[in-house]
Copies of this chain bind each other. A is one copy, B any other.
Amino acid sequence: MEEERLVTQITPKSEDFSRWYLDLIRRTELADYAPMKGMMVIRPYGYAIWENIQRLLDERIKATGHVNAYFPLFIPESFLRKEMEHLEGFAPEVAWVTHGGADELEERLAVRPTSEAIIGFMYSKWIKSWRDLPVLINQWANVVRWEKVTRPFLRTTEFLWQEGHTAHESYDEAQAETLRILDMYREFVETELAIPVIFGRKSDREKFAGALATYAIEALMSDGKALQMGTSHNLGQHFAQVFNIRFEDQGQNLQYIWQTSWGVSTRLIGALVMAHGDDSGLVFPPRVAPLQVVIIPISIGDWKENVLPRAVELKNRLEKAGIRAFLDDRSEYTPGWKFSEWEMRGVPLRLEIGPRDIKNNQAVAVRRDHLEKSIISLDGLEEKVKEILASIQSSLFNRALTFQTGNTRQVSSYEEFKAVIEDKRGFIQAYWCGSEECEAKIKEETMATIRVIPLNNEKNQKGECIFCQKEARIMAVFARSY
């Protein structure tokens, strides 16, 4: 059977992680390559994850007082030019629209790489008084960055994201918002994606073009490389000065506003693949899995008469209980083929039901996290399934946390640093003097970058810079990253 051959075509993860990732994404129909360099199509099975992410994150964005809006896709070049630091950060990556229909445009339009410039301009029209503040707006949108090296979900020319853009009366309020969102992201990723993260400030070298400070959550993928999962920027008054966004404060003085911006993207889908997947394929945490349960009828004898109707009934019961269930009733595939197919597609729980199971009022349950079988009674099935799904969710988180903890190492010499990066990867905690030069050299020699500087650690510690051995007060977390 052609399909059976295809299942075995996935390169084992242990053999070639990168190949495994690409094989898996295409074979499980999460995404496919588009015919334009660096662009992809998010197929229904992958997009269903994005819909779950959107729903679960949007709830949190709204619960913290934000509202959604939509700003234009195009940004005039002059707007980006107003803010040279920002333009320089993004210019190499901008796709430019030069013609509308047959006519050449008077001014080129950037396809938004991010929306600070256009939103800054609009805020300058909308914000007049302290009564208008805070402005807490988020946008779900597509953005384009002309990347040289691309990889589905992780780095693509176009991607989907949410970008929050807020305006405040004071630095303190903006800083509180920046950290509130960082914590919202951390809680969201750990709870829903079952991926533990570390968090902290980025070094100046790694911060967002135009920001006062960038904060990020970072996770360890199962090959030991780090992935930036989300960022939250305190923009200070930088864009406010560029776009002249001023408000009359309560003392009737004109002041520049203080801003933040923050985002997560479809990259999170790539993180799910790389953090939880194994040699058998995808492993999705139940809370964001496209399907949570797959029911496979054992197709022997007159199964269509005896087994199928009970399988349909089970599926309906699960769906009624709010569980995303799928019944694979195709007769052109064997049960065995379906088992490995749905394992590969990462469905958290498989229920097998055959004639004997029906007689015994039971189903065979196989969890995707450890592939162990158990027998469960059809009485109270819904509650039992919910318990198993919750158990899978926490077992995946704990597994990933154990991996992260086991792959976070504090080193005290540069030799050790290089050895760990080369042999084991993972997060490396090391003292850093704070100089961009040391940071750049370390990157050049080891391909490791500072992922985050954990919050507030600067006050309490003192040691020697891992590179120059000068006094260092910062314990930074380094890693090779995607």
**Residues of A near any B CB (own CB < 8 A):** 32, 34-36, 39-44, 47-48, 50-51, 67-74, 76, 79, 91-102, 108-109, 111, 118, 121-122, 125-126, 131, 137, 141-142, 144, 146, 157-158, 160, 332
Tell me which of B34, B70, B79, B111 contacts A111 (CB under 8 A).
B111
Contact call B47/A69, Cβ cutoff below 8 A: yes
Q: Are A137 and B44 in contact (CB under 8 A)?
A: yes
Q: How far is the CA of A150 from the CA of B249 in the complex (A)?
A: 37
19 example contacts (A-B, Cβ-Cβ < 8 A) are as follows A32-B122, A35-B79, A35-B118, A36-B72, A39-B72, A39-B74, A43-B69, A47-B69, A47-B70, A48-B68, A70-B160, A74-B144, A92-B102, A94-B101, A95-B97, A95-B99, A99-B108, A100-B146, A101-B146
A36 and B71 within 8 A (CB): no
| 6 smallest beta-carbon distances between A and B, as pairs | A100-B146, A44-B67, A42-B70, A96-B99, A92-B101, A39-B72
Taking the nearest CB of chain B, how far is it from the CB of A379, in angstroms? 30
Tell me, rounded to whole Å, the shortest Cβ–Cβ distance linking A102 to chain B: 7
What residues of B have a CB within 8 angstroms of the CB of A137 in the complex? 44
- Total identical chains: 2
Please indicate the chain B residues that have their CB under 8 angstroms from the CB of A42 in the complex: 69-70
Q: Is there contact, CB below 8 Å, between B41 and A142?
A: no
- Measured between beta carbons, the chain B residues less than 8 angstroms from A47 are 67-70
From residue A368, how far is it (CB to closest CB) to chain B in Å? Answer: 22
A35 to chain B: closest residue by CB: B121
User: CB-CB < 8 A to A69: which residues of B?
Assistant: 41-44, 47
Asked, given contacts A97-B95, A98-B98, whether A122 binds B68 with beta carbons under 8 Å apart, the answer is no
- Complex contacts, A144 vs chain B, CB 8 Å: 73-74
Q: A95-B99, A100-B146 are in contact. List 13 more A-B contacts (CB 8 A).
A: A34-B122, A39-B72, A40-B72, A41-B70, A44-B68, A47-B67, A47-B68, A47-B70, A48-B68, A51-B68, A74-B95, A97-B111, A98-B99
Residues of B within 8 A of A121 (CB): 35
List chain B residues, Cβ under 8 A from A158.
72-74
Knowing A39-B72, A72-B158, A122-B34, say if A98 contacts B100 (CB, 8 Å).
Answer: no
Say whether A76 contacts B36, CB under 8 Å.
Answer: yes
